[in-house]
Structure 1
């Protein structure tokens, strides 16, 4: 067990929170709905790209992936590959067209040439479910991290920590809106990059700047030996686990383009060119980060060994903090703790803002008020929704506390790919796509993913399940993406063929011109 200094760790974290809250307060200028939801489109591509990386590089990337690499080797690094490759889908197929067509939310795009009310309602349901699934994983990361740093083993103590993180996150959203949240994400991204570069440098120095020596020590410290350098250590036991890996890969690669909080960031730039630049900046930043996590993950296994990592509070998620303590002592551990907390809070703030914006703009303003809501009331409803969603994510984080964060985030990616990707691509590229196809695609993908996950080993049937004491798992895969993603595409296609009715050629033509040129946005 590490000799953590709780006062130092929490002091560093407290300083970060105070500084960023001050930045949020100074940056906030919430005069209109556009400023609250999209920061007035005032960020350039570089700024938005760094914020995108800050929004995307969650506790799963920093804690979960490092732990998975330390314990399983190459199979853990596959999370990094999936997270990174998925951005190509955004760059090539989604970013520019989405930025030109929408205004605040994904619902703006999906409902543009469809029946507004049912499509916006479906989009809001999808956004809130995916955001909550993602937020729950971040909250679980907060509980595990504090359990390690403060040696808090009681469930009530970890629950209190998760609640505090949730309250701080809601404060960012209420005070700063999108502009303030973006600056928090930029600060967090810079801190995170400096942190992983610093610990990578320290770690390489410990092994004489020889990557070969580091990898050899990692193999010696791991019961799997040299198997950690090849695929299959975690997912290669039998055909079923290999199929589970394929399902996980599909969810990771295809889920990025369906994540609502990522899509919403494309509205914070002034034009499509800056949206494209945002993705390029984000991709380059994350490529450097994931290369560092490869070194950190293997280094954590070499220095501490998988047994020590798994026995620590937080399990696999403790790999990076344990390594920081062994390499740089209490001070570096405190810095790592602050960055990890910053990561969790910044990501959850972005998710909360996205979910609350979707409810306020899509459900309240366009479904309940039929497009006649004034901007002030829309922002007011978004703030109330942020508090409700924050409370729900705290409860969910307490429920799944102790699970591997990267794995939990992969489930959120499966939801995103199943519910949103098919409908977005069909809407942007298939003129015949209609309202019934949209609704069938969203609800079919979201419902099938939720159903399969509920009856999978994630929820019951195993010692690491959320409900380990019961067994109603009839679906054998831990990630349902390989089934639910094709179901979503099939439902959207069949629903369109059965939809009938006359297509609005004028609106279809308008959307095509607008998506390509941005005219009319």
Structure 2
């Protein structure tokens, strides 16, 4: 009965298709008009031509993904307080990005994370390690976005068969690949800006409307939500999701570490700092992004609890997409088919834009770090590097489609948390050591990247996230032995430790001259603009 109720509220599929089509055509036109990817600087970093305000809004677009809009609103609607804590991690992470990483990264590198890590190390092994890390993290993050696309379109168009949902996910993947191939970083950035503005406007409008429905009393909204939830008053208190026992509390600590430390070290986010002309604009980007996200997550808090109060957890869980359907069902409940179509188009835009950014990061890392600097030893022609980047985008898009079909139905916020655990384990310790520890060397870099990446992957594979529980990705089997669904609490400290041990036990000391040059460049930006000018 609840399944049919959910389906009845999905509105008119024709309206949904028209709104979807209008957005896709608009963004395709923008990407085509913005396309100017004739050089590596244009394709990877949009020629560093965006202002801090523009890049900050685009950065928020990278974060305001399917996990933020669909996953977190659904987690709040079903689990309450614990679901909202996902968004807290997103916001706190920007303090790490602003204080520790953004300026030094922008001053030291050119296009990718590998540029920074390899600046004072042996180029070939470090760039290969950075590229491997980028590709694995990117594919995990893509799983979440593509799974969100499958659930959303299934809900709106009434596509119930696995084959139909697979076709939908494939279509999303093909559009995303087109964005990257034609528009490069400039086209992708404009899509992110459009998407972020639409998403923020949409969430703000719905939040104000809902608060007005409850007399502009947030307390009244919470009371109605608690009455309509099986959790009752516990919906408003910690423990509705992660506080059932000591193990689940430890799992929550692990999740929090992954959120706070992983977001600031995602490859597609770090790459975006190169689209601004200087370090001042990079800092300005973070400030604008932080304020945009702050306003958005306040709205998501209202949307999540309103979905509990007006739609109900049972209806949400019974709908196609499960928790990911909370926001679309709420839109249908308060605004009918038209608002549902608009909200869903915005969610669809969110998925397309984020996956395009991920694909661009993966293709740039392979083409620039592996092909140009490892295989061609820094002697690759710009044209050949761009061709490799575009071919890599096609390959990554294919893998994302396959992975999205496998992961369809999972909570996207949960899937993203696994990608963040990988980023925090493999990238953050290495970045911090590279920027701030003078003794850090090539051995420490490799130990830190591979140690964090492999340990996190192994723990994920043998965790309840993959098998052994009703909510696992693989149903009906149980081969898990690690008790936590998120491995960050183990793999992140291990990566720091391995980076330290690899350095102190290495027989090859750090290059003092390159270290001094990197320190000056990271703090002042001297030398960075000259190097960028040579790439244009």
**2:14 corresponds to which of 3, 7, 24:** 7
Q: Deviations over 1:451-478 (max 9, x none)?
A: 0000001111111111111110100100
Match of 2:165 in 1: 158
Residue 45 in structure 1 maps to residue 52 in structure 2 = yes
Match of 1:60 in 2: 67
Match of 2:533 in 1: none
Match of 1:191 in 2: 198
How far apart are the structure 2 equivalents of 1:25 and 1:310? 39
> Conserved in 1, the CA contact under 8 Å of 2:34 and 2:183?
yes
> Conserved in 1, the CA contact under 8 Å of 2:467 and 2:474?
yes
Match of 1:330 in 2: 337
> Conserved in 1, the CA contact under 8 Å of 2:442 and 2:510?
no
How far apart are the structure 2 equivalents of 1:55 and 1:452? 27
How far apart are the structure 1 equivalents of 2:38 and 2:462? 46
**2:449 corresponds to which of 433, 442, 452:** 442
Q: Deviations over 1:459-502 (max 9, x none)?
A: 11111111111110100100000000011001100000111224
Q: Deviations over 1:35-87 (max 9, x none)?
A: 11000000010000000001111100000000000011100000000011011
What does 1:46-125 correspond to in 2, within 5 Å?
46-125=53-132
Secondary structure at 1:499 match in 2: coil
What does 1:362-381 correspond to in 2, within 5 Å?
362-381=369-388
Secondary structure at 2:485 match in 1: coil
**1:483 corresponds to which of 490, 493, 518:** 490
What does 1:30-429 correspond to in 2, within 5 Å?
30-429=37-436
The structural deviation recorded for 1:314 is: 0.6
Match of 1:460 in 2: 467
Q: Deviations over 1:362-408 (max 9, x none)?
A: 00000000000011111110000000000001100111110100000
Q: Deviations over 1:207-249 (max 9, x none)?
A: 2222121111000001111111111111111000000000000
How far apart are the structure 1 equivalents of 2:84 and 2:66? 15
How far apart are the structure 2 equivalents of 1:42 and 1:3? 41
How far apart are the structure 2 equivalents of 1:418 and 1:520? 30
How far apart are the structure 2 equivalents of 1:221 and 1:504? 63
Secondary structure at 2:505 match in 1: helix
How far apart are the structure 2 equivalents of 1:191 and 1:499? 51
How far apart are the structure 2 equivalents of 1:478 and 1:214? 32
Q: Deviations over 1:2-44 (max 9, x none)?
A: 1421111111111111111111111111121001100000001
How far apart are the structure 2 equivalents of 1:470 and 1:316? 23
How far apart are the structure 1 equivalents of 2:246 and 2:509? 47
How far apart are the structure 2 equivalents of 1:157 and 1:60? 23
Deviates more, 1:407-416 or 1:194-203: 194-203
How far apart are the structure 2 equivalents of 1:484 and 1:292? 33
Deviates more, 1:22-31 or 1:205-214: 205-214
Residue 509 in structure 1 maps to residue 524 in structure 2 = no
How far apart are the structure 1 equivalents of 2:512 and 2:144? 43
**2:503 corresponds to which of 473, 481, 496:** 496
> Conserved in 1, the CA contact under 8 Å of 2:439 and 2:509?
no
Match of 2:25 in 1: 18
The structural deviation recorded for 1:296 is: 0.3
Runs of at least 4 residues off by over 4 Å = none
Residue 27 in structure 1 maps to residue 34 in structure 2 = yes
How far apart are the structure 2 equivalents of 1:262 and 1:3? 34
How far apart are the structure 2 equivalents of 1:449 and 1:316? 26
How far apart are the structure 1 equivalents of 2:416 and 2:252? 15
Deviates more, 1:384-393 or 1:195-204: 195-204
Secondary structure at 2:469 match in 1: coil
Secondary structure at 2:198 match in 1: helix
Q: Deviations over 1:274-309 (max 9, x none)?
A: 000000000000000000000000000000111111
RMSD: 0.7
State the TM-score, normalizing by the size of structure 1.
0.99
How far apart are the structure 1 equivalents of 2:167 and 2:354? 19
Q: Deviations over 1:184-229 (max 9, x none)?
A: 0000000001110111122112222221211110000011111111
